[in-house]
Structure 1
């Protein structure tokens, strides 16, 4: 009996142990498989949409001439007036004249500052654009000079100008802000960096323009590049260049900033004309007439392996490609030979960041001129393009994508202009003076060119800078 009782007690204990193990397994499985309550507490936040700030643009004003008297060389004078066109798709534009550094006979010979306010309650600023043009005719200086009315910046690059015999270049610094700007000019040429004490600490008063003759800082420079940087306020930098051969004026131009240093620079709408006349002049004149040329500069310390592609826009003959090594710290110029008259998209691809622009010349029946074409960033959305009155005017589009893009230009009145920009190519549309709203061109590089008998000029169309973006606020 004792043995039976012992066996029964042992069996009961075994069964109890098994039940306990089963309960433990069930508890563990439940803790593992069943979802637990979520006790995480999210940080409280609120998205704030700032009111977009007012937009500002500056038109550089009329072409300037240095005084013939060396004692007055620092006081340039305005020649004639520039004609400007500007506007928005919202409220009217407010205008004011900046205080000119040059002697001016009338208030409208001063640089023009434009302001477009964002309507109350609007979530984005209005489309805004402006441009100016001037046909300069004087005994010492002539040419067609067009420029975009641009946004002020604390950092920009001017890839244009020359200070060799007959060449005059002026750096125009316009300050539309309410504080003085201190400007430093870092100048580079074909021989390297220029050491010029007067190039640093240049004070541009608030609401004024300062003119700096480049020859006083970098004399006898064939291919200068100027890096403009500021502290305090911001400025709009423009390079005015004019050329006089003997006693004959050979052109004038206003060149705005080119794109910031990048491994890819796209220059749309490069217009080449009268190459046969230029070739003939090269062989018959003692002073060289420049062929189309790409000016390049490598801001870093590593040499650049550069490939340049020139692709003809719709209706233009096929382009060409060029390859070269560009030494860091020195400005280089690469001729675009083997091209024909027409319109081209020039793309610079480099192993390291570079800045770039293209210069072309034109010979007419009585006059000569030259033009600078600068690179610019692609558009980020709809754009308002202002077109002043000038000779044959084209809006150019460059498409780096692998598919065609359909673009529409809507004038203030009249029928829209529809345009297909081919993949990895370019196209253009003829326009008249006025304001055009461009839609469908996101991702395209855009510029405007003017061409007449012995006349040429161009300016880039750049997207507006960021004014306001949503902010996520996390209170304490």
Structure 2
């Protein structure tokens, strides 16, 4: 009897245990599956707005000539001096001369470093811009050369220059920083990469400019592209190219850095002039006169499938697109021989990232010249542009979007200029020398051209680099 009672009690306890386990399982499942009211504690933080650093720009300085002194055949010397226009929409700009590679008679004959400080308490840096121009007329070198005063960078691309017969190209490396910069030049041509031991470990002292003749590194190069990288300080890299045919000077240009490798490169404001005279000279002379040409380099390991389109700034398509394959690691030049005289936006689309620029020539009644047009990233909604004194200056706008852009060009004094830039097209405005604030141009590519009979030059307008952005701080 006792055994039966014990068994009965044990069975009850077992059943109770099973029921308890079941209830616990239901509770756990409910806690896991049923939504609970949200409860979270955000980490305390504070948004800090740092004071933007001072802005710097560097104007490359006057056009240089080699062998001006027979005793120093490889030493560059300045030919006259350039004229710069610069300023901000805020406080005055501070200027200082960088030490040139060669001694000169005047401090004005050297690269010019510009600095704009952000006023105390300001939430944004001032708009800042500068540009220079020089007209050269000597027995050995002549032409018009304009350039933007650019920000120093640790990585830039020069798509310009040549070292074939009659061509002289100099790489100008300007270091506005307070520390020395060690520069490496990776040089590529139509035959691939150039093995040049002297192209690495180039020391550019703080506050100085170094001049590197390209012919000493890449002789007989028809289409060089130079990748400039630095450690330590940053530099502004510029390519000075001049051309002499026989004993006659045929132009000079200062070409700034082009856009970083990308699958789409937009080159605004390409000015083409005197094509009839160029065609006649091409057939009559033993040394060819170049047609408008796109220079393209593929820095990767895959060949690029290239499509080149050109649209006139009136918004009308200018001929058919050009398609071509460019080998990886090689530089190619593709002529734009289907265009007519006028202003164009040239767009290079590629299956892989490339760098690109356009070269044009002009023949006047007495003189000849050429110009390089670089690709450029789009500007922001507010941009300051400096237009140096020169022949027939124009502001050019390219609009790759699907909507028309309404742009206002406000001079430092005077009435603003209203300009409509059509979707997938371009437009330009003639402007006198001075500084202009551009609003409504967010996403547009901009350049400045200068052109006269037998003279041409151009430079891209680049947006300012980021100086300071808000930082979210999480204290411990």
Q: Shorter chain as normaliser: what TM range?
A: over 0.9
Instruction: Indicate the residue corresponding to 2:307 in structure 1.
Output: 307
Alpha-carbon offset, residue 102 of structure 1? 2.5
Cα distance change on mapping 1:325 and 1:71 into 2, 3 Å = farther
Instruction: Indicate the residue corresponding to 1:267 in structure 2.
Output: 267
Cα distance change on mapping 1:317 and 1:37 into 2, 3 Å = closer
Deviations 1:356-380 (A, max 9, x none): 0000000000000000000000012
| C-alpha contact (below 8 Å) 2:300/2:329 kept by paired residues | yes
Cα distance change on mapping 1:307 and 1:317 into 2, 3 Å = closer
Instruction: Indicate the residue corresponding to 1:95 in structure 2.
Output: 95
Alpha-carbon offset, residue 32 of structure 1? 9.7
Deviations 1:114-148 (A, max 9, x none): 00000111111010000000001111000000000
Gap regions ≥5 residues in structure 1: 1-22
Cα distance change on mapping 1:34 and 1:186 into 2, 3 Å = closer
For residues 168-179 of structure 1, what are the structure 2 equivalents within 5 Å? 168-179=168-179
Alpha-carbon offset, residue 104 of structure 1? 1.6
Structure 1 residue ranges (4+ consecutive) displaced by more than 6 angstroms after TM superposition: 27-35
Instruction: Indicate the residue corresponding to 2:368 in structure 1.
Output: 368
Write the distance in 1 (CA, Å) between the matches of 2:301 and 2:70. Answer: 39
Pairs aligned (count): 455
Instruction: Indicate the residue corresponding to 2:152 in structure 1.
Output: 152
| C-alpha contact (below 8 Å) 1:262/1:352 kept by paired residues | yes
Instruction: Indicate the residue corresponding to 2:399 in structure 1.
Output: 399
Does 1:76 pair with 2:76? yes
Does 1:107 pair with 2:113? no
SS at match of 1:413: coil
| C-alpha contact (below 8 Å) 1:155/1:228 kept by paired residues | yes
Write the distance in 2 (CA, Å) between the matches of 1:323 and 1:280. Answer: 27
| C-alpha contact (below 8 Å) 2:302/2:328 kept by paired residues | yes
| C-alpha contact (below 8 Å) 1:316/1:344 kept by paired residues | no
| C-alpha contact (below 8 Å) 1:319/1:344 kept by paired residues | no
For residues 49-448 of structure 1, what are the structure 2 equivalents within 5 Å? 49-68=49-68, 72-314=72-314, 318-448=318-448
Write the distance in 2 (CA, Å) between the matches of 1:169 and 1:181. Answer: 22
Deviations 1:280-301 (A, max 9, x none): 0001000000000000000001
SS at match of 2:282: helix
SS at match of 1:257: coil
Alpha-carbon offset, residue 413 of structure 1? 1.3
SS at match of 1:109: coil
SS at match of 1:72: coil
Cα distance change on mapping 1:391 and 1:78 into 2, 3 Å = same
Q: What's the TM-score, normalizing by structure 1?
A: 0.92
Deviations 1:304-345 (A, max 9, x none): 000000111117773431010000111000000111000000
SS at match of 2:459: strand
Deviations 1:249-305 (A, max 9, x none): 000000000000000000000000000000000010000000000000000010000
| C-alpha contact (below 8 Å) 2:176/2:206 kept by paired residues | yes
Instruction: Indicate the residue corresponding to 1:3 in structure 2.
Output: none
SS at match of 1:283: helix
Deviations 1:204-230 (A, max 9, x none): 000000000000000000000000000
| C-alpha contact (below 8 Å) 2:250/2:367 kept by paired residues | yes
Instruction: Indicate the residue corresponding to 1:8 in structure 2.
Output: none
Cα distance change on mapping 1:466 and 1:350 into 2, 3 Å = same
SS at match of 1:215: helix
| C-alpha contact (below 8 Å) 1:62/1:82 kept by paired residues | yes
Write the distance in 2 (CA, Å) between the matches of 1:68 and 1:38. Answer: 79
| C-alpha contact (below 8 Å) 2:294/2:357 kept by paired residues | yes
Write the distance in 2 (CA, Å) between the matches of 1:322 and 1:376. Answer: 21
Does 1:46 pair with 2:46? yes
Write the distance in 2 (CA, Å) between the matches of 1:62 and 1:277. Answer: 30
Write the distance in 2 (CA, Å) between the matches of 1:419 and 1:69. Answer: 50
Write the distance in 1 (CA, Å) between the matches of 2:139 and 2:419. Answer: 42
Segment of structure 1 superposing worse, 220-229 or 318-327: 318-327
Instruction: Indicate the residue corresponding to 1:7 in structure 2.
Output: none
Q: What's the TM-score, normalizing by structure 2?
A: 0.92
Write the distance in 2 (CA, Å) between the matches of 1:316 and 1:28. Answer: 71
- Root-mean-square deviation (Å): 2.0
Cα distance change on mapping 1:41 and 1:300 into 2, 3 Å = same
